[in-house]
Structure 1
Amino acid sequence: MAIQRGGPSTGLPTKTEQADLLQAMYGRNGEAPVPVVAPRTPADCFDAALEAARIALTYRTPVFLLSDGYLANGSEPWRIPATDELPDLRVEFAAGPNHTLPDGTEVFWPYKRDPQTLARPWAVPGTPGLEHRIGGIEKQDGTGNISYDPANHDFMVRTRQAKIDNIAVPDLAVDDPDHARTLVLGWGSTYGPITAAVRRLRKTGTPIAQAHLRHINPFPRNLADILTRYDKVVVPEMNLGQLATLLRARYLVDAHSYNQVNGMPFKAEQLATALKEAIDA
């Protein structure tokens, strides 16, 4: 979990920023993708954390939960959910062999993946017969033995990417009552000021569409279709355009950045003015 603040290093420890997105996306050795989830309000932090836990447990992967200083220092009314309203996050651990060798011997293969999620089985440490290697050296598919085979490494790299790409996330919802030609797309704590700015513009008769990403890796599967519907896509961020960079690279869209890196959150009037200028340009 990252509570983003003005950086780098200690930077502005009590101020807000959204400058860790690219680090969360790519800040590891080699091709090792990780899911990224971003809450949009103080209350949404609870649901986003549950979603991150669901992904982590279902797909057996670390997950980045990207909050920021604006959310961490904020508050809003929130109804404590009843326990029966919460998702079932229980995990089924491996209890015995899961593979049969050609000679009929039953063994435990720690890298035999679920065909739907590509997740590996979990064995409780110390379970007799389920002992296996752990560590950072590349493993052989299935057996988990140490492997320096080029073809195996290629397969494992692509499998790790495929596991993240195939994570099931909800489609992105778009608020567009007036069939606008301009979409404002945000993530994280920019939700509040973006929503307020959109309301101001609509009150003046200016059509504008709004969408807000919770899942940044993988992106929602309908995002490409959404981006192609609009003549202009404006992405307000408290960084120098990190989400916009990802959108341009992935979808080849001319996403327009509106950026602020002074440690302060956007203001509704400020965003309304910037969005109106983008619409009229």
Structure 2
Amino acid sequence: MVKTKSNVIQKDAVVVKFVGDSGDGMQLSGTLFSDTAALEGLDLATFPDYPAEIRAPHNTIAGVSGFQVHVGAKKIETTGDLCDVLVAMNPASLKANLKWAKPGATIIVDENAFDEAALKKSGYTENPLENDSLSGYNLVKAPVTLLTREAVKHLSLDNKSADRSKNMFALGMMYHLFGWGFDHTYEFFGKKFKNKPDVIAANKAVLEAGFNYAETIEALSSVFQVSKAKMEPGRYRNITGNVATAWGFLAASERSGRPLFLGSYPITPATEILIELAKYKSLGAKVFQAEDEIAGICSAIGASYTGSLALTSTSGPGLSLKSEAIGLAVMTELPLVIVNVQRGGPSTGLPTKSEQSDLYQALFGRNGECPVVVIAASSSANCFYYAYMASKIAMEHMTPVILLTDGYLGNGSQLFRIPKVAELPEIKPPIAKPNDPDFKPYRRNPETL
């Protein structure tokens, strides 16, 4: 791949946001962009921004889905605030996300999507591509839908099938903007659609068409160059906070020699911990999907009583339901880790909105004198270490521990250097000797207090 553009803009970090309708494939475009950035040697943090509504009407603001990526040559700790590049696939996504674009940011839009009906549904009284409202930005009006259909014409696909690939056109434009190749994305196509050669061919053709279009238009006369990040040697992967949490528990189980048990009830945004741990029966993990939140924590207390590393996962509404059982675990001095992946609002709240709203509940939301350890992760990657340390504290001190994360950390991702379990801090649970006549379960341990 040879670029003809000579204007190269050096950047330490760039924030990119892909936005569109729920069916426009923005999560996939963002994920592929992130994975390619990692393979190019950049550090990164991501956040998928899902709509709250189920099947919101097409082309409405309520149905806008997004994926934000922050890549850089330095250590990236957040997904960033304002974006340098905004890719908007329809009017609603532009209207909902323009406030997050920096002054002078590059905004790439599918001009074919800005028809009268779509503009009206999104609340525009006139077309923003045709007035001066976007004059403060580098606006790229690309005929994405039209050129996508042209790119796959040789495959004899109908328009509906062809349009499913238009997210790849936008991704191809981004690859040109950053000077990246297609190898990883081609590999993904081969694995994802291995039994659908036409789909592979369509996505490849559209990806290349987007790259070539970006190379030929004057609006993208500059490309970004972000140097490789200086990172400690090791094996890395892009990991979400929920998966990192699950892996931290698996590492604690291995290091402590205690079998892992998770008793949990599915709840957004914590369910992925349940799903991830269910994959690891080979490592001795036992996962129980209970009928409700109370059954989830009570099953975990029972597992703790029999000597397991006992866990339960939830979000704010579930934590309130578990409060009485947390008191039981305190009273019986049983180790237990309660993960609260926080979301917004009281009661059933706002499942897709991230909010650090449960601190007071975690500290004081129990009856009687009922102290528990409360710790909080601060990034998607360090959810691994906080889950590990929560397990260590719970088992060594025979007490419940509440681990706070949130939807931003749980759904977001970072590059994570996979550690060797043997290098993690030792976990020494107080195991009673069999048939010890001097054993007293509540005897005070002067070493651990």
Q: Same fold (TM over 0.5)?
A: no
Query: Counting strand residues as a fraction of each chain, which structure ranks higher?
Result: 2
Query: Counting helix residues as a fraction of each chain, which structure ranks higher?
Result: 2
Structure possessing the higher relative contact order (Cα contacts under 8 Å, 6 or more residues apart): 1
Please give the TM-score of this superposition, normalised by the length of structure 2.
Answer: 0.24
